[in-house]
Structure 1
Amino acid sequence: MSFTPAIAEQRFVLTHIAGIDELAATDRFAEATPDTVEAVLEGAGAFAAGEWAPLDRVGDTVGARWTEKGVVMPEGFGDAYRGYVEGGWGTIGSPAGYGGMGMPFVLASAVLETLGTANMGLALCPTLNGGAIEALMHHGSAEQQAAYLPHLATGEWPATMNLTEPQAGSDVGALRTRAEPLEGGRWSITGTKIYISYGDHDMAEQIVHLVLARTPGAPAGTRGLSLFLVPKYRLDAEGRPGEFNDIRVVSIEHKMGLHASPTCVLSFGDNGDCVGELIGHEGGGIAGMFTMMNNARLNVGLQGVQVAERATQRAVAYALDRVQGARGGANVAIVEHPDVRRMLLRMKAQTQAARALVYLAAAAGDRATLGDEAARKQLDLLTPLAKAHGTDIGNEVASLGIQVHGGMGYVEETGAAQHFRDARITPIYEGTNGIQAADLVGRKLSMDNGGVFLAHIAAMRTEAEDATLRTLIDACEEVGRGLMTADADDRLAASYPFLTMLSVATCGWLMERQGRIAGRAEGDPAFLAQKRAAARFYVEQIVPEALGLKAAATARAELLYSIPAAAFAA
């Protein structure tokens, strides 16, 4: 099946949810004119369809391969990635002072969405560059910025994020990788990191690792962690990759999905010759890494949109083509059956809702860079919603895609199963969705003594028209106020259903707005009709479902601990 970039949908959401015209009215983003935005969306779509989408299947079936000399990517991937670099697609949102275009992050997100919809496995390679750039811009030295940012800005040097270790999954404070001081402000790095996406490959001449490590005498826990810049090859006198930096690829994981993305076990300093540079100050590792991670979390939420869009396109094409069953005495394509239409419309509505949520968060990030403090706080609140709910939707829509295909979806030949396998990691990495929910109720809900949360509630209530949507917004406020004063266990027990309630309320608010605008807009009648139908489906059928979560979001933790741990094995 051919891949079709969702340009009309992206343009609609950029205009009516992200407010890109308002961003373009500022000096910083003045280049983001309607003509430029259109050219970027069209160009990215053409490139993705022509160069990346045809490799999606080979990436899944062949996958990345480990060798003693390093990771070898499937045939064609290197050329496709270099085409991405040469085409300037990595520069859209990168800083203008380092070779980037300096466009809004939300526009760069739309480009990444298109690339990831075409080939999610390949799009993972440059996904962390934006976060690495932010980390160096906020915490790096002038020398580090000059040496690395021009190459990170184009994607010529992909970046990785190195946290997890064999004995420490989400417990970052338990990390053991060591950094010992050397002469000239350099550090010797030793340790092992696991689950490193694109930790090694043959598509670029350099890979830039950002590594959390513990310095001598550092306190236990997260306070003792520092962040280091550790390139695969040390830079020579001209600033080009030179001597190998003693980073060994021990293995790559054999995974359920995303076979094109090498998930590596990396060993630093086996021969005592791995050299890194401190980013920021000793003990500042968590602050530096979270600058990178918050960007990554939005991009993972965007992966939910990517996989949902591709699964929906595949399911729609199959439903229009597959003839089975009769209506009115004639054999018909399965799209004519009510239950298939229900699934397809749910897929469209959920995908559009996730896109609106992630774009809203990305645009808040753009406004934060303009000095809008309220937008920065809105971004903080929306980030766990975008990451967790975006990826939950990606999994649901990919599963529905298999269901639309019926038995043909369960066999690999149709490609529907790949989307479900690829999607399943997204609620796990970059902080599990349970951790996102804990972050929401543990830190984000109480920002400004609840003022940020209540301002978001007020914004939704002011605009919402549907009675059930308003009831859900009221329920979110009631539950949220209660959680602010609940004890820790009760907050955590309620965190996931509350995150879903608040996410659906937010998506319902955004979908209702889009439906109203589509009702009075001029343009492609088919696009506007499906937009109105998707918005109506979301508000009428998905919003009421979230009201049913109130019981779980107000339940105490007592039931969860009413049996001893051993009883779960009974």
Structure 2
Amino acid sequence: MSKYAAPLKDMRFALYDVLGVEALFARLPGGDSATRDLVDAVLDEAARFTGQVLAPLNQTGDQEGCHFEAGQVRTPKGFKEAYAQFAEGGWNALTAPEAYGGQHMPETVGAVVKEMIDSANLSWGNYPLLSHGATEALKQHGEEWQREVFLAPIIAGRWTGTMCLTEPHCGTDLGLLKTKAEPAADGTFRVTGTKIFITAGEHDFTDNIVHLVLARLPDAPPGTKGISLFIVPKFKVARDGTQGERNSLACGSIEHKMGIKASATCVMNFDGAEGYLIGQPNKGLTAMFTMMNTARIAVGYQGLGLIERAYQNALAYARDRLQMRALSGPKAPQKPADPLIVHPDIRRMLLTQKAFAEGGRVLGYYAATLVDVIERSADPAERQRADELLGFITPIVKAMLTEAAQECTYNALQVFGGHGYIAEWGMEQLARDARITTIYEGTTQIQALDLLGRKILQLQGAGLRHFVEEISAFCHAQQANGEVVEFIKPLAELTQEWIGLTQEIGKKAMTEPEEMGAAAVDYLFYAGYITLAYFWARSVAAADASSHPDDFKQAKRHTARFYYSRILPRTRAHLTAIRAGADSLMAMPDALFG
């Protein structure tokens, strides 16, 4: 069985030393209550809960899976009880608004807790995941009575939320959706249609489930301009908060999946179910994107969580397992063979995991600090800058951390060899669980199109400009620092190349639109590797300036050197592919594919 213990030392290093959240929280309105002592206490308790309650259920939950009978879903043994502890501990309320029963802690603190949950038990973590997104959508787009009636029980953990977008015939292209919403005389709506792939659409954790459903009004224009968003609870809820009879909706089946088997993925059938409109008619996509963008960052944390757990177990195994002798001579002559960790390619796989876990951690938490600035800063210009930066960084967080999870869980399984392929050690589960993270909440390809097509070309790259300015300012400030100079020069050069390459793609796309689509995925990886290089350079500088022991500082430096010499050069292959253009992809007639 794989094990997990929250890496609190590195989490705190990322928060306090690299990102300086103490000073950030202190200056943001309402953030000064999140003192270091309080945050540390929260993280300690989260580490205990995830390590002692959630982690032991990970493998048993995968083996048992969910049970479906007559429209009811029963979760694996121990899952419901763990959720009861989670709700009783106030974890649902951690970052939620105080006005509705929340604790209003910074989102950055919530991000650290989210990483722990996903490392400990990714399937279990999917149940409360979308409650956070529903909270954000209602908070930003709901009417006050809707917030009062629906937010309080969700925040208290008595109810959970879902996001109902996908239909059998439409996934990414939501303009094709067919679910209908007919207005009723009492001001409610009757929602009819089928939604698929609905995470936690039905379960046994709570008394009610609040579905946020995209549907079309009778007079809606075609395409995405005619989509509205509705609150459709499992049990009807009156405007005064009174829970009534069962609504006319039901789970038709649950999916049998490659991974996350303990997470109920449901087909939801709505048959004239009673619901309430959120926001303005035909403006539902704006509210849904609030949920979706929250979920995309959250899925990035899922990738990060899987990387960390894979690394912890692969490292422990590599230190313990004896296999052959080191090429340079015995390293453990008193033993019949040397431990795996002495072999160069085992080290390559371990260092790859370590580099993505620790660099990705700073990247993920950085995104969360931007959310805190957007929500709390009193300076409109600062909020706008953070919002543009967050829009730019979100597809990188989502895609890079989940794609890295594929690579790192593969590497962890490979370190275990044949033992990794069998279920006993838990590595094959991590690899299976990781696979969905590059798909749901927008595939890697969708993230790439969002980054290059929308955030850069359509919006004139405002977020990219801010980020490049930030990197350039860091490089300038550190250029005389002998401890980090080896990282500054290549980072500065790549940043300038990045600007030129972006302009190059933009010019090509003006005359040949397919060039954008052909370049998008390679561009995302190219941008992602440079982004992680920046956070690794910051990590080395922060470690050097900190009071951490010398072995901690040396570990950061060695890992950064590995990243710069072994992973960052991948940008060369992506650059070459981008400049190859669209011709080799688009020239062959469809019929010649066979």
Question: Which band: TM-score by shorter chain?
Answer: over 0.9
Structure 2 CA distance for partners of 1:343 and 1:382, relative to 1, 3 Å: same
Report the Cα distance in structure 1 between the residues aligned to 2:242 and 2:57, rounded to whole angstroms: 30
Please name the residue that 1:515 is paired with.
540
> Larger deviation: 543-552 or 191-200?
543-552
User: Equivalent residue for 2:478?
Assistant: none
What amino acid is aligned across from residue 22 of structure 1 in structure 2?
Answer: A
**AA aligned opposite 1:62:** E
Structure 1 stretches of at least 4 aligned residues deviating more than 6 Å after TM superposition: none
Choose the corresponding residue for 2:441, options 420, 430, 433. Answer: 430
Does the Cα contact within 8 Å between 2:71 and 2:253 map onto a contact in 1? no
Which SS does the other structure have where 1:426 is aligned?
helix
Q: Note the alpha carbon deviations across 1:131-152, whole angstroms, 9 max, x for none.
A: 2111111110111000011122
Larger deviation, residues 400-409 vs 555-564: 555-564
Deviation, 1:459, is: 1.7
What residue identity is the alignment partner of 1:234?
A: K
1:257 aligns with 2:259: yes
Amino acid across the alignment from 2:6: P
Query: Which residue pairs with 2:421 in the alignment?
Result: 410
In structure 1, the residue matched to 2:120 is: 118
Alpha-carbon distance between aligned partners in 2 of 1:73 and 1:40, rounded to the nearest angstrom: 27
Alignment of 1:3-42 (within 5 A): 3-25=4-26, 26-42=28-44
In 2, Cα distance between equivalents of 1:413 and 1:448 = 49
The 3-state SS of whatever aligns with 2:55 is helix
TM-score (norm 2): 0.93
Identify the match of residue 554 of structure 2 among 529, 542, 546. Answer: 529
SS at match of 1:267: strand
CA contact (8 A) 1:305 1:351 kept: yes
Alignment-derived partner of residue 481 in structure 1: 503
After TM superposition, give the deviation of residue 66 of structure 1 in Å: 1.0
Deviation at 1:554, TM superposition (A): 2.4
Aligned match of 2:391: 380
Change (3 A) 1:426 1:306: same
Q: How many corresponding residue pairs?
A: 566
Is the CA contact (8 Å cut-off) linking 2:100 and 2:155 kept in structure 1? Answer: yes
**Are the equivalent residues in 2 in contact too, given 1:351–1:394 (CA < 8 A)?**
no
Equivalent pairs: percent with the same residue? 39
Query: Where do residues 62-461 of structure 1 align in structure 2 (5 Å cutoff)?
Result: 62-235=64-237, 239-269=241-271, 272=272, 274-327=273-326, 328-329=329-330, 330=333, 331-369=337-375, 370=377, 371=380, 372-446=383-457, 449-461=460-472
Q: Measure the CA separation in 2 of the matches of 1:254 and 1:442.
A: 34
3-state DSSP class of the match of 2:56? helix
- Number of the residue aligned with 1:471: 493
Question: Quick one: which amino acid aligns to residue 381 of structure 1?
Answer: F
What TM-score, normalized by structure 1, do the two folds share? 0.96
1:51 aligns with 2:46: no
CA distance in 2, matches of 1:184, 1:486: 55
Q: Is the 8 A contact 1:44 1:114 kept in 2?
A: yes
CA contact (8 A) 1:229 1:277 kept: yes
| Contact map agreement 1:479 1:498 (CA 8 A) in 2 | no
1:33-91 Cα deviation digits (max 9, x unpaired): 00011011111000111111110001111111111141110111000011111101121
**Structure 1, unaligned runs of 5 or more:** none
Deviation at 1:13, TM superposition (A): 1.1
User: Aligned with 1:160: secondary structure?
Assistant: strand
Secondary structure class of the residue paired with 1:137? helix
Amino acid at match of 1:434: Q
1:338 is displaced (CA, Å) by 1.9
- Distance (whole Å) between structure 1 residues aligned to residue 522 and residue 493 of structure 2: 16
Q: CA deviation at 1:238?
A: 6.4
Tell which deviates more after alignment, 159-168 or 241-250: 241-250
The separation in 1 between residues aligned to 2:226 and 2:458, in whole angstroms, is 26
1:433–1:462 Cα change, 3 Å: same
SS at match of 2:172: coil
On the 8 A contact 1:205/1:241 being kept in 2, the answer is no
1:498 aligns with 2:523: yes
- Which residue in 2 is equivalent to 1:562? 587
Q: Is the 8 A contact 2:170 2:177 kept in 1?
A: yes
Task: Output the CA distance in 1 between the equivalents of 2:578 and 2:153.
Answer: 46
What SS is found at the alignment partner of 2:277?
Answer: strand
Q: Distance in 1 between matches of 2:69 and 2:19?
A: 44
Preserved contact between residue 304 and residue 401 of structure 2 (Cα < 8 Å): yes
- The runs of 5 or more residues in structure 2 that have no matched partner are 476-484
Contact 1:236-1:243 at 8 Å conserved across structures: no
Deviation at 1:162, TM superposition (A): 0.5
